[in-house]
Amino acid sequence: MSQDAKLFSRGKVQELRAELQNDKKDKGFQRKKNTLKKIVANMTMGNDMAPLFPDIVQCMGIQVLEIKKMVYLYLTNYARSKPDLVKFTMDGFLSDSHDRNPLIRALAIRTMSYISVPAVHRALLDPLRHALKDTDPYVRKTAAICVAKLFTHDRKLVEKEQFINSLRDLLADSNPTVIANAVAALTEISEKSENIQLRLNLVIANKLLSALNECSEWGQTYIIEALMYYVPEQSADAEILAERLVARLQHSNSAVVLTTIKVMIYLMNYMSNPEIMETLCKRISASLITLLSSGYEVQYIALRNILLIIQRRPAVLKNQVKVFFCKYNDPIYVKLAKLEIIYRLASDGNYEQVLAELAEYATEVDVDFVRKAVRSIGRLAIKIPLASDRCITVLLELVATKINYVVQEAIVVIKDIFRKYPNQYEGIIGSLCQNLDALDTPEAKASMIWIIGQYADRIENSDELLEDFVFTFLEEPVEVQLALLTATIKLFLKRPTAGAELVPKILKWATEQVDNPDLRDRGFIYWRLLSTNPAAAKHIVMADKPPISTESETLDPAVLDRLLLQTGTLSSVYHRSPEIFIRHTKPKYLSDSPALNPAAKKSYQESLEIAARRPPPVPETMTVPKPMSPSTVTREPTTAEESPRHSTAEPTHSSFQDQLPQETESAVQQEVYRTSSLDVDDQPAVDHDDPYAALSSLDPSGFYGHQQGNYQSDEPQPLSGMIHHPGNYSLI
């Protein structure tokens, strides 16, 4: 056991106090050092050493740096719990802040800035003001960070004492480390303050770049990050700064490289020369490829950032898809990130190479990876029309393997391919129908049911296939129930004789035995449509589907530019704006300038609109309204006589009504009719020569702006602006 390891044993406060108060001759204060080490060790283990506070204060007068560090560490830890005793430390702090040793001077002001006690903050003002102008650079760099620390404790005090101006003066300091710390402090203050904004001019920006070579790697990161606060007024200024930054792309530290890439992509928004931008994209590509040779954790960070970069700057990593081919020993999170990039980089010129690689991945042993690979093959067919035939061939080969999870994913993506290329690949439906027993996931079942319903007139036994699914209707997830309900209606509209038995059964279950409101509402809507106007129902349910495109897979340009301003941070890994998962974070936007290029200008305008729609910050204290008294609550009408929208008109199409289960006017159904359907007597007058006007009038969600369900896409849609997937955050 080492000497230090012996210190980590539980000590009693009385024994430690006795050792501190021992007046025996102590050469070099060795005994006090050992006692203080024991105290620090007990603090580390979670033992309460607060009763020793007065005894520790008496040790502040010992002018030994090692003892000073341990004493100040103790004071930092316990000063907040002993605010009444902190006043006895003031003389020691003030004395040390004027010590001849710069290390002790810096240690004193650093410790005072860590103590969150107002009395210490006030006592720190004069020593901090002198430290910012100290002759020793070590003290100045420490003082710069202390200003930022004090700002977190008392913002008004820092602004009142004009410490911000002192930090700005340090940007012109002769020592690069002082400059880096001043930049770090100003950046942190700017991000936390609503009324303090850091802005750099060209002179200061060039001064910061000149200090890069002599800074540590973290100092370089702070300085390069600060260049984001410089807004070029001319394209030439942005090009010059970017050229001076190029050398940092070869740095050994990944943080420096990613920060440099972030600033260069930011500066490209203010450039007009396409040749220079293309050259910079090539330089960025080389540095990103180099990052992929780092550890897996760094690789993952780089890959997640690459996904954003290639959406905004397609020239980056162009024709470099081979670099992202997965290795056998890559962890799954790296493989999945690479898979997404491979799909993004696929083009008309390399799709055969990409497809061969994806087909190889689909035979791996990792189930999640195989599922993603199969899905990527389907997405590739949708993205590149030239590749659709080859992708279908590969998918059929995978279906022939009879591996359950492979067959399921193949059917899911083939459904999307059918929507992208209607009436082109229907010949493979027979092969798909032979694998119904392999379907056990809701998404795969829903996809197969959609295919059967969509092509019910071309599948001879479509009614029998749907009937197999109907047996377990009440046990299926809502996703499958919705698909089965719509597919059954399609079957009846295309083949009335074949679907006559299934439709009444499904509608009765959906409206009477199911608790899900979406499913129940859709059942009532279909029921009412078929009862009143089957022709209109056919127009609505069988309407042409909007073609699937890959545009929805890319982020909105304004959101993308905001995320690129966060390159190298958690925001760029999550692909979420930081204000979503970190409170009190200021969003970053591009700044307007005469040099801002047209594409970035459009993104800037969209960012202004987003900022205008952002709700004001919630105050820390809110007044909760008093509950309403029962007499002031307005009661909703619940009966036919009370409800102005209720109608007792009977459906006019008795030929189909005879096949439907009898409607019972239960309270639940009355509520559904009152809130979700448009009664026959309440329908507005329409031009019957215009089928689109008729469809609009018969749509029970028409006066909600189609927000409660778009029946052309056969998918219920949430109200706009709501977060509708648990755990997912929408970028509003």
Report d(CA 148, CA 141) in Å as an integer.
12
pLDDT tens digits for range 365-379: 999 999 999 999 999
Would you call 720 exposed, middle or buried from its count of C-beta atoms within 10 A (0-12, 13-18, 19+)?
exposed
pLDDT tens digits for range 325-362: 999 999 999 999 999 999 999 999 999 999 999 999 99
CA angle 377-379-380, nearest 5°?
A: 65
pLDDT-derived band at 677, boundaries 50, 70, 90: very low
How many other C-beta atoms are found inside a 10 Å radius of the C-beta of residue 678? 21
pLDDT-derived band at 3, boundaries 50, 70, 90: low
Q: What's the confidence (pLDDT) of residue 580?
A: 87
pLDDT tens digits for range 414-429: 999 999 998 899 889 9
Report d(CA 634, CA 295) in Å as an integer.
64
**For residues 299-311, average pLDDT:** 96
Dihedral sign (CA 191, 196, 199, 203): negative
**For residues 603-611, average pLDDT:** 77
CA angle 168-172-174, nearest 5°?
A: 135
How many other C-beta atoms are found inside a 10 Å radius of the C-beta of residue 330? 17
**For residues 156-184, average pLDDT:** 93
CB-CB contact of 522 with 482 (8 Å)? yes
Residue 687 has pLDDT above 60, yes or no: no
Q: Report residue 715: phi and psi, to 5°.
A: -135, 130
Question: What is the DSSP track for 299-345?
Answer: HHHHHHHHHHHHHH-TTTTTT-GGGGPPPTT--HHHHHHHHHHHHHH
Report d(CA 209, CA 236) in Å as an integer.
16
With residue 184 as reference, give the H or E element that holds it. Answer: helix 176-192
Who contacts 364 (Cβ-Cβ below 8 Å, separation ≥6)? 370, 373
Q: What's the confidence (pLDDT) of residue 632?
A: 41
pLDDT-derived band at 4, boundaries 50, 70, 90: low
Q: What's the confidence (pLDDT) of residue 247?
A: 94
Dihedral sign (CA 718, 724, 730, 732): positive
pLDDT-derived band at 6, boundaries 50, 70, 90: low
Reduced to 3 states (helix: H, G, I; strand: E, B; else coil), residue 652 is coil
Q: Which residues of 415-431 are buried (b: 16+ CB within 10 A; e: fewer)?
A: bbbbbbbeeebeebbee
Residue 668 has pLDDT above 90, yes or no: no
pLDDT tens digits for range 188-245: 999 888 888 889 999 999 999 999 999 999 999 999 999 999 999 999 999 999 999 9
Q: Tokens 């580390």, residue?
A: 44
pLDDT tens digits for range 541-581: 888 877 787 777 788 888 899 999 999 999 999 999 998 88
Residue 730 has pLDDT above 60, yes or no: no
pLDDT tens digits for range 112-155: 999 989 999 999 999 999 999 999 999 999 999 999 999 999 99
**For residues 160-188, average pLDDT:** 94
Runs of H (alpha helix) within 384-501: 388-399, 404-420, 429-433, 442-454, 462-470, 478-494, 496-499
pLDDT-derived band at 500, boundaries 50, 70, 90: confident
Q: Where are the domains of the chain?
A: 441-542, 556-612
228: closest CA among 179, 268, 287? 268
pLDDT-derived band at 728, boundaries 50, 70, 90: very low
CA-CA distances (angstroms) from residue 607 to 312, 529, 562, 612?
16, 43, 8, 8
301: closest CA among 253, 343, 264, 346? 253
Q: What's the confidence (pLDDT) of residue 635?
A: 42
334: closest CA among 378, 294, 379? 294
Pairwise pLDDT comparison (441 vs 80), residue with the higher score? 441
pLDDT tens digits for range 546-557: 778 777 778 888
Who contacts 1 (Cβ-Cβ below 8 Å, separation ≥6)? none
Dihedral sign (CA 392, 395, 401, 404): negative
**Assigned token pair, 473:** 């209707």
Q: What is the mean pLDDT of the chain?
A: 82
